[in-house]
Structure 1
Amino acid sequence: MSLKQWEDWIERNKVNLEHEADFEERFVREILTKIPEISPKNVTSQYLFKDQSNVNRYIDFFISDPSRGIKIAIELDGKSKIKNMDDWVNLFVRQNALVSNVDGLLLRFANVYWLHNDRLVIAEIRFSISKQEHDFKSQQLKEQARDENKDQEKKQLEVIEALSTKMTALEQELKNLTEQKEKNTTQEIQKQTENTRKGIETLTLKMDSIANVLNELSKKGERAVDHSSEEELKTARIIIEEIASKINAIEGGLNSFNHENSINSSEEKAQETKSRETMNSLLVKINGLEKELQDLNQKQFEQRPLNLEDKEKTSEALKIIVSKISHLEND
């Protein structure tokens, strides 16, 4: 900072710097002008403040730069200020008021001290300025970090809330899917049971029809069946065996399905029991039909030759049973 600016400042503050020994103006010239961290605009002479009794008080110099966090009050002391006990009391009241009401650092220098130790006083003021700047910058960084942490915490909270919302939605979706699966499984069991029941009813009707045909054929066979019908009888027996095998496969599939999906309701259990009973009844019927065919095939027929009409009737009856059993296999 140029001396010209300091000279201008001294001129503007001439009244405030008046002193019988000219200590205050000399302090500016010999101390403050040699501190490169400050300029005249940072210094106020006879800085006004109020004490606890709301009385106006003044400090010799106040160095201030809010942008750098610098606030230093400087008081020059000489023995001329202390003439009696009241001066001592007033001195401490004034100092306490300064400390309590002026936000900053208070430095007090005896005139006899700074006049003979100017370099030490300059170094002390510069150190105080540097420390305040450092503390101010550190505080700024802490506040900035705190603000950044708040922003980061806010973002993290938003992410957590978003995840919580998503988890709630997924949980509900999983619950809905589970309920739908249970509903579909129950419907599938009911559908499978119903299809099995219908299939068993159809097989029962067809088997009853076969039994009637075989019964009719058996009556005719007691009187007239020749060896040319053996192949048809064997075919009928093989087809019946295949039907029995297919019913066993249906039963196995039903057992597996029920095991995987667990029949729970009493209605489903009753239906499953009924299906099994009907299935067993079918197997008994098939075994009976098979035995009947075997008996027909092994029957001892009369030695007399069959007439043409008997042969035709027997052959026609066998064709009917083979046709019906073949139709059942295709179904």
Structure 2
Amino acid sequence: MNALWWLALPVLLLPVWWHRKKREQHQAEPLATSRFLPRTEPRQTREWRWNDLLLLLVRCLLLACAIAWLADPVMPSRGDTVVVAEGTDAAWVEREAARAGLAKAERMTLPAGQALAFLRAHQREWRLDARLLVLGDIPMPFMAPEFGRRIEVRTLARPASTLERHVHIASARPDQWRRVFAGQGVVFDDAPGAKTSLIVWDRPDAPPASLRAPLWLAADPAAFPELKNAPHVQGLHVADSPRGRLWHAASWPPQTADAARTLLEDWQRLHAGPPAYTMPARVFDAASGVRAPEPSGALRGILMALLAGLFVLERILSHARRR
């Protein structure tokens, strides 16, 4: 659809027509008598000056750049490429690239969750004969993307990383809360600090106003006014406050290991979202009629800067022409 803007190139004739129509009339000078002069009708003549030609050229270039910006031109200059998700094992990447015959191809490193979206938006930058191979822990997309060229995806699930989380427990029953986080790789802080990511507040009084943490588990909602009208989702209340995000459940702390595990899983799923699954290896064949869903931006930044410069130059020349 963007390429249809090239049909607007005949608009470049408008500045030429306007400049040809623009005429200047000779200045009339008073004479003592005109009885001996032949009678002639006043006529207009065209008078071109150097800044007229320059202004005409600038205006034509301004319109041409505007049409090119709307048409979103792309120069397909990329060749064979191996797109590697960040954090992928380098030895495995080299083996798979060699198996695909792309050992000497260009390498491009992208975030795993953005690799397919980037290729779909920028697919016009590759030549028609270029081969594309995507390697790494690519998450399963919500919907299978469609490409205008053939793209092969080979995946390798990364081992689950164990993050060290610091938790501070402010409660008269700390042992019960410690059992909730058993086997979760949690480090318990005696006092909240810069590394503390979660504070368990199991006290009837409100915490100090200066105490901050990204997450709070509040056993008593009376200590947090923000929880009074908090939405209720799967047995949990959630609210944002200046101290951090607040979570509350009426059954805290859980009395059994199964209840603690279920409650903790529900809380983590609601807070962090569902885990990403690695998509299986597959080949996306070229689909007919598929185009980039958004401007690629390959030349749009340059054209926009050129448009701004030409506009400023056109205004300067127009002002100088009137003087």
Smaller-chain TM-score bracket: under 0.3
User: When you count strand as a share of all residues, which structure comes out higher?
Assistant: 2
User: When you count helix as a share of all residues, which structure comes out higher?
Assistant: 1
Q: Give the number of the structure with larger relative contact order, counting CA–CA contacts within 8 Å between residues 6 or more apart.
A: 2
**TM-score (normalised: structure 1):** 0.24
